[in-house]
Structure 1
Amino acid sequence: MADPKPLPFIYQFISGAVAGVSEILVMYPLDVVKTRQQLDSTNATKGTLNCIRTIIKDEGFSRLYKGISAPILMEAPKRATKFAANDEWGKIYRSFFGVSTMNQPLAVLTGATAGATESFVVVPFELVKIRLQDKTTKFNGMGEVVKDIVQRNGVLGLYKGLESTLWRHIWWNAGYFGLIHQVRGLMPKPKDSTQKTLIDLTCGTIGGTFGTILNTPFDVVKSRIQAGSARYKWTYPSLLVVAREEGFAALYKGFIPKVLRLGPGGGILLVVFTTCMDFFRTMRDGKELKDKPLK
């Protein structure tokens, strides 16, 4: 399948931003549940539905959207960077390796590099979100969290957990974009826009699910590192600590709400992103045709 017509960076950025905000508005409560389960080392928050009921009963429905301001502000640059970086790195790697179209190894490599790029944008927002989602939080909003972090640790304190975030995003994006490329190659060519949307939704959901399977252990330790626990400092040693003290299954705490979010969420991301990109391609093609001089 031929690669779609490339567009300038700004169109990729806008499309990624719209896709990210769309996904977070629909799926955010599952992210709150996921974080609660990952921070719980006593196994008190068992079951996704039970956790949701407990939060609503004890803290009110609005708590399911606690800390959403940070992700909303984050989603536009985060997802925009994800898709734009994936496209731009794809161009670089295709040129470097001398291939005209994307292949499976390049899709994985491009996704991993895009994930690493995305991490530098994400870390401060993720840190604030984790601090607000923690059940024991003393903060009421983003400003309070940022002020506390800067006062205690300086501006660089906002990048606590960068190393673990890098690994989380490298693994997820490698699985997500790599599998999307693989699944798309197995799909029939869409006959209309409805079939194209269904194919994108299927590819994105499968890619999001696979990426989540790969990166959940890294997400668990990232949440604990950013929550402020002195016991967790570096990713791979922290993986061993959790597995040794709580069992291997503890590395997949929060997996159900996470995969329920990022499986369908990955589908939403891809559908909205490709729809926006197709809109911009149509708009540019129409403008180029209009501006073309008549002979």
Structure 2
Amino acid sequence: MGAATDGKTSPLIALLGGGIAGGIEAACTYPFEFAKTRVQLYGHQGVKNPFVVVTKVVKDEGIRALYKGCSTMIVGSIGKDAVRFLAFDSIRLLFEDPTTHTLTPSQSILSGMLAGILSSTAIVTPSERIKTALIDDAKTTRRFHSPWHCILSLYREQGLRRALYAGYITTTLKQIGTTGFRLGSYSIIKDFERARGVDVDGPVASFANGAVAGTVTTLATQPFDTVKTKAQQAREVGTLEALRVVLKEDGVFRGLWRGTVMRLGRTVVAGGILFTANEQAVKVLKTVIGK
């Protein structure tokens, strides 16, 4: 991403750098993701603090339950961020000014949105579906022994489309918004700072800019994430049914922005980690395998 602004990052380095960053980010922030998913599936129940949810899960179900679905998310995040960083870097080259290597705000967001469609179709929807089903199963029937067993069970019961692509529309809409706002706003911030002589390539600047981008992303895309999670639970639930249930349980604002505090806690940290890890990974990779 950062290196993409000089127009010289190879597709291989963009792919590897994004994958490394995605894996690190997912491993570091998974407890927040787990807490957010639980709240979206079963309601607030008076709890908004992610640390309270995490503590209760550890106390009632054991620490292993807290990481149910973590391996699926790590693998999915590696693939997701590899694809979307590569796609974003490739797409933005089509729009950027060849002299300044910058984009207009609308071009940055559009590049991110297109990258979001690609990543949702190739990686995000299947990995999110299995992760959510595993988290749901950990609290209910506890019948899935592993991610692979979950996939096979859902395939036998619901068919391939429902097993891997339940919630595809809302996931894709979320990814269009998430990738558009996250990568787009990060690119806008960096271009703005660079034009004013600010050093944007250090880890501190990368973390701060990524955290801001993560905050904007969360607030803008939370309704899609909430409905997507409800539609991807272990039992078969359609997107419209999921939306009706969420609105019936908590109303429009409280329902659609269910889990915002917990997701915000994750995405602010995750945004900082993701972009910092990507920037540093790209630098290391360039020294090891060249541009």
- TM-score per shorter chain, which class? 0.7 to 0.9
Corresponding residue number in structure 2 for 1:101: 102
2: distance between equivalents of 1:137 and 1:81? 34
Shift of 1:146: 0.6
Quick one: structure 1 residues 137 and 80, their matched pair in 2 at CA, closer, same or farther if it must change by over 3 Å?
Answer: farther
1: distance between equivalents of 2:215 and 2:65? 26
**Consecutive unaligned residues in structure 2, runs of 5 or more:** none
State the secondary structure of the residue aligned to 1:36.
Answer: helix
**Aligned: 1:79 with 2:81:** yes
1:115-264 alignment, distance < 5 Å: 115-120=116-121, 121-134=123-136, 135-138=139-142, 139-157=144-162, 158-187=164-193, 189-190=197-198, 196-228=202-234, 232-234=238-240, 239=243, 242-243=246-247, 245-247=249-251, 248-264=253-269
Report if the CA contact (8 A) 1:218-1:239 is conserved. no
Quick one: structure 1 residues 225 and 100, their matched pair in 2 at CA, closer, same or farther if it must change by over 3 Å?
Answer: same
Report if the CA contact (8 A) 1:221-1:232 is conserved. no
Shift of 1:175: 1.2
1:37-70 residue CA offsets vs partner (Å, 9 max, x unmatched): 0001473654322211210110012221111121
Corresponding residue number in structure 2 for 1:274: 279
Report if the CA contact (8 A) 2:158-2:236 is conserved. no
Report if the CA contact (8 A) 1:184-1:199 is conserved. no
The worse-fitting range, judged by mean Cα deviation, of 16-25 and 139-148 is 139-148
2: distance between equivalents of 1:184 and 1:280? 21
State the secondary structure of the residue aligned to 1:27.
Answer: helix
2: distance between equivalents of 1:92 and 1:241? 42
State the secondary structure of the residue aligned to 1:154.
Answer: helix
Could you tell me the percent identity over the aligned residues? 27
The worse-fitting range, judged by mean Cα deviation, of 180-189 and 16-25 is 180-189
Shift of 1:281: 3.3
Shift of 1:284: 5.6
1: distance between equivalents of 2:270 and 2:261? 13
Shift of 1:197: 1.4
Report if the CA contact (8 A) 2:102-2:191 is conserved. no
Quick one: structure 1 residues 8 and 43, their matched pair in 2 at CA, closer, same or farther if it must change by over 3 Å?
Answer: same
1:84-106 residue CA offsets vs partner (Å, 9 max, x unmatched): 111111123449x9996322110
CA RMSD, Structure 1 to Structure 2 (Å): 2.7
- Structure whose CA Rg is larger: 1
Corresponding residue number in structure 2 for 1:67: 69
One-letter code aligned to 2:53: C
**Normalized against structure 1, the TM-score is what?**
0.86
Paired residues, number: 281
2:53 alignment partner, one of 34, 51, 54? 51
Shift of 1:232: 4.1
The worse-fitting range, judged by mean Cα deviation, of 75-84 and 246-255 is 246-255
2: distance between equivalents of 1:141 and 1:229? 17
Greater relative contact order: 1 or 2 (C-alpha under 8 angstroms, separation 6 or more)?
A: 2
One-letter code aligned to 1:233: T
Shift of 1:274: 1.2
2: distance between equivalents of 1:23 and 1:168? 19
Quick one: structure 1 residues 153 and 270, their matched pair in 2 at CA, closer, same or farther if it must change by over 3 Å?
Answer: same
Report if the CA contact (8 A) 1:212-1:259 is conserved. yes
Shift of 1:241: 5.6
Report if the CA contact (8 A) 1:171-1:214 is conserved. yes
The worse-fitting range, judged by mean Cα deviation, of 222-231 and 123-132 is 222-231
State the secondary structure of the residue aligned to 1:227.
Answer: coil
Quick one: structure 1 residues 44 and 100, their matched pair in 2 at CA, closer, same or farther if it must change by over 3 Å?
Answer: closer
1:19 alignment partner, one of 12, 18, 21? 21
State the secondary structure of the residue aligned to 1:140.
Answer: coil
Quick one: structure 1 residues 241 and 143, their matched pair in 2 at CA, closer, same or farther if it must change by over 3 Å?
Answer: closer
Report if the CA contact (8 A) 1:19-1:273 is conserved. yes
State the secondary structure of the residue aligned to 2:103.
Answer: coil
1:176-227 residue CA offsets vs partner (Å, 9 max, x unmatched): 122212322343545596xx21111111110011101111111110011111
